[in-house]
Structure 1
């Protein structure tokens, strides 16, 4: 990836992440409160649905930028290796495999920023008075003695376990739908609004399938102390039953479906504008 491509991915990702979090933050709050122990109303109900917005906005741009820079770069770099080592594989299989690997690396990169932000955001969403800044200060005090790193990156493994299946479902579907739509209409690249529709459908499918992992991630982040994920999963099942693993599936699917339309629609729009401007400058020079 050259410097122009890096900048395009960086700015497109930043715009996509920030716009999505700003628009859909209240739905995310409702989802978090539905999944939290004690239930929806015990954790704030419909009040203060923008509580925790600060931490989300601060991390939106760098998190999304890290994802798309890594994703776009790895798509370019991995494809020749897959073609070399899988000479008999179909082109669609190679493309899907590359997209799954590239999106996985992108998600791991983005989670370096996203996980601390999620911890602060979700604790603020379920607290009746604290702001994002107050929540962060409480975490940095290390009152539970587990260390700042473990407090800020609580739920790291669960988030990765959720995000990798999610992105391995979402992005191959998204790229496949874009490719087929472009072929059907005889163009090389779909319009941003078409990319938004593809992103919405892909996000809805991935969100519904990975809701149980999202519930585990939310509970782990809200826990005062660290707990092994399998132990937590067993405790939740014994105390609350299997149905709790699909708590918040409605808001989560709706939020990510609509959010996918905005996230990938804004990405496609900004990416197209910046690419067009770069190509125009190259022709003028």
Structure 2
């Protein structure tokens, strides 16, 4: 008897791409967000993870929420969280040097300041903060390469939640300080999740971007939107982008859809112009030559 060719039913099916999943207590909002986020991602290259949480309308959306990505400079918000958590445990205030480094790290995405704080804290303390924060799928980068920390969109949302809601991990003063710094990011780095946000919202932001031989450009943006009836967080992580601008455009397409749907009555929204080129191009290790930015050699970049 001859061997039968596989039928449509027995042939191996192609993997199905994950779909956007939303829920909401506001009538029709979940369906609208699902439709609009899906449309924003249609035809775009690369891999994208999205998580949205809105406490006002009790809305959440997710796409690849637990997939891991190289963090690039998004991890700097976690470094800040670790610093504040560690200081609070002993009841001490940050030193002038720590404040200077934290400001440069968040508002300018300064790599040297980040490396200094990462070395000061040590991986053990970073892991301690991650455990306290419930960020169970985040893995600190090895050998000082903080930009290669493995992060997920869900864990980034947990971090943003810690910064925006009273909790037992960070003090109110620490949360206020972190949000203040994230509100003071330099104009050239205020792209990403703020795109299309209502003018009435206060924006708290951290972006990251990194090019390596595998998966091309990683471009990420995390944002919390507070004040005047706003209380929501948005994380968009991407890799596999051919250019940095490709990643930025994908993030901003998602952001505009989310802001529009969560704020249907908003009359004014922010227009965000992506930078022409990265504002920083230094690897974390100063002695590494610039050409390592386009090789597979581990390095970190904003």
Provide TM-score, normalisation by structure 2: 0.25
Which protein has the bigger helix share? 1
